[in-house]
Amino acid sequence: MTHSDDDPIEEDVLDAYPVAGLNAALEDRIWECFERGRRRRQWLFRVAIATSVVGGLLAISIWASERLVGSRSAGQARVAEGSVNPGAKKTVTLAEQTVAVVDRSADIAWQTKGTQVLVTQRRGRVFYRVQPGTDFRVETPIGSVEALGTCFEVEVTDMSKQAKNIATAAVGAAIASGVWITVYEGRVRAEAEGVSQGDATVLEPGQTAVMEAGVSPRITETPNGDDQATRARLAEARRRLMLQADEIAGLEQQLSQRSEGDGAAEYEEANSKSRFEQEERDTVWASAQELDLEERLDQYMGVEDGVSTTECRDRCCHVELAIEDVGEYYDVFVDFKSDVGIGIGGYRDWSDLQDIHPRRSDDGLGHIYACSRRSGEVREGPDRGAERERMLLEARGAIESCRDQLESELMVTMYVTIDTNGAVSDIDTRAEPAGQPATHCVEQAVLTSARFEPAPEETWIPVRVSLSPGEGQQ
Amino acid sequence: MTVQAPVEQAPDELDPDTVRAAQRGDEVACRVLYRKHASRVHAFVVRLLGAAASESRAEELVQDTFLRVFRALPRFRLDGPASLSTWVFSIAYRVAVSELRRKRVTASVSRSRHIALVSDEQSDDIARQRELYRQLARALDALSPQQRAVFLLRDYHQQSYQEIATALDIESGTVRSRLHRARAAIRGALQEIDDDT
């Protein structure tokens, strides 16, 4: 007996495979999930419009309203306070757009009321970035430091740290105990206790001063203009380094506790892969995350449907990447962990990431495990992936013009750091081959088109441009 | 538990006004769209996943499908090459195939949930029905996901060759060849029952 293409399987046979009815509650669940995602997208749209119309003021106020803790009812001054004890190095938000990066040895407490912030810094080193217009003051055991600008560092030293500080600052004389102040942007006024008010010292960008009890703060370094720029970059680099050191310390702690731990404690401290494997699926959260991650992989990282497989459970997700080319996999991985992807440690609420490179995995696939904080906080902000796309599109013409300076095929990779105001605060450029004049041209072309919305946290994105004498590609 | 008709009738397409309202995010229109397509999508996903699908997982995949549908809906073109139902099937197919690629789905909740629907009386007919189901499910599971999808869309959901080609992003000729092989495999499996009895 033969059958043609139009000869379907008999209906009574097909009847043998019925399917149970669909859960009626699913409709509401889907709609709730969709609405939640839509509210987030509408919020992004509002921020984009508001920023373009009123220069970002409205956008900033939206964040301000969401991020201030301990707020009272509308119309009243917002009051918040907190403290960070030694051993818990981290970044804390003190007020709108005002953050402190607190070193592990430091000890601070603060009180915020409206635009007034008073910090008590008892010891250790703290890097401050202050929103202009904030009445910001740091009280130390020796004197006070008042911000007249944006970005500075205060270190309260003790005897045990004396040698190190002296070496770092290249100061010849020994100092028993004091406060070191370094200004990177804006100005600060330092005033030691027991000194008449007229003897306060105002520090300019790039200057470092030491403050001792009963003596007017003394400026120890006044670098030239080039040095100032270098110092500003150094400050950002140091800040990033501190955050990375935090991450390393956290991972080391996880490992040490994991080797000692058991049961529930071990689960809490396990790595992302182990955590993922132990989790049950929370359907609403997991579905939304899978959708988001897959869209980002597809839209911003060039990973098409079928190349990646994403599965999320309760707090963690697993992304499987069928990418054999090592370089290509690495690019996707870097994109993924940057703010184009999930933004580890950033405002998108992901805190932990582990990857198994295709060459190290049994199945030859790349595996990325990432876990979210799921803190419950509203963490919304600009889409750095979309902004990167837009930036490259706008920069295309300018990049094309760089071809005139091209000596051979060129690959430029830039790691662009964006501060909370949306300004590019650092750009780390790598070129292959190095030394071509076109590299600088490409860097400038990209930077000229760089426009980013403010974000609750510092963010970073990789940008890759390849240029060949014949044709250009981004 | 209710049982829906095993061979789902191709629904009339939604009227353009409702589709446009859904594209604007109108809740009522989106819910109408869901109700129009949900059971078909569910049946398609369950059979496409075969032994890999637990009931709850299949439900999650239906949810994933419709979340994608709603999000991508503004980009759907009413005058485009695919009808809305074909377009929805194409999304369901990608979601299900992605699930199959995970290779991590637990092998199945017992199929007894289906069999139980007809097992109240012990009779030869029921025994044969059970055997028929077992062979059909096994034959479907033995097909590649691509062959299975073509077969399901054609024989269970009455999609045209062109619609299937559009939904699965393959050539019309490929649809025919896959369908031919799928039906041959299923008929071969069913022949074994006849031979045994």
Question: pLDDT value at position B116?
Answer: 33
Q: Tell which of A1, A19, A33, A317 to mutate to test the B interface (max B CBs under 10 Å).
A: A19
Name the minimum distance, in Å, from the CA of A314 to any CA of chain B: 14
Beta strands A410-418 and A459-467 are antiparallel
User: How many angstroms separate the CA atoms of A286 and A290, rounded?
Assistant: 6
User: How many angstroms separate the CA atoms of A175 and A137, rounded?
Assistant: 24
> Among the ranges A260-264, B119-123, B186-190, B192-196, which has the highest mean pLDDT value?
B186-190
What token pair was written down for A212? 């001792």
Q: In this complex, which of A16, A21, A306 lies closest to B2 when CB atoms are compared?
A: A21
Question: pLDDT value at position A281?
Answer: 82
Vertex A264: Cα angle to A263 and A265 (nearest 5): 95
Nearest CA in chain A to B160: A6
CB atoms within 10 A of CB A254: 17
**A6 CB within 8 Å of a chain B CB:** no
Contact check, Cβ <8 Å, B34/A17: no
Eight-class DSSP state of A79: E
Nearest CA in chain B to A319: B102
Contact check, Cβ <8 Å, B154/A34: no
More confident residue, A185 or B8: A185
Question: pLDDT value at position A13?
Answer: 84
Residue with tokens 């009180």: A111
Q: Which of A189-203, B43-57, B141-155 has the lowest mean pLDDT?
A: A189-203
Contact check, Cβ <8 Å, B6/A14: yes
Question: pLDDT value at position B183?
Answer: 92
Q: Which of A317-321, B44-48, B123-127 has the lowest mean pLDDT?
A: B123-127
**A311 CB within 8 Å of a chain B CB:** yes
C-alpha distance across the termini of chain A, in Å:
58
Question: pLDDT value at position B31?
Answer: 92
Beta strands A135-139 and A116-129 are parallel
- One-letter amino acid of A143: G
Closest by CA to A285, choosing from A19, A472, A33, is: A33
User: How many angstroms separate the CA atoms of A447 and A212, rounded?
Assistant: 43
Question: pLDDT value at position A25?
Answer: 83
Question: pLDDT value at position A121?
Answer: 87
Closest by CA to A161, choosing from A180, A145, A183, is: A180
**A44 CB within 8 Å of a chain B CB:** no
* Residue-wise pLDDT tens digits, B70-81: 988 888 888 888
For chain B, counts of helices (H) and of strands (E)? 9, 0
pLDDT band at B194 (very low <50, low <70, confident <90, very high): low
Question: pLDDT value at position B22?
Answer: 92
Contact check, Cβ <8 Å, A16/B180: no
A19 contacts in chain B (CB < 8 Å):
3-4, 6, 42-43, 46-47, 114
What token pair was written down for A370? 């990432």
Intervals of chain A under pLDDT 50: 1-4, 43-78, 159-176, 258-270, 378, 471-474
State the ipTM, two decimals: 0.80
Residue A389, CB-side half-sphere exposure with 13 Å CA sphere = 12
Average pLDDT over all residues of chain B:
78
Contact check, Cβ <8 Å, A37/B2: no
Contact check, Cβ <8 Å, A20/B1: yes
Q: Which of A157-166, B90-99, B141-150 has the lowest mean pLDDT?
A: A157-166
More confident residue, A263 or B170: B170
How big is chain A, counted in residues? 474
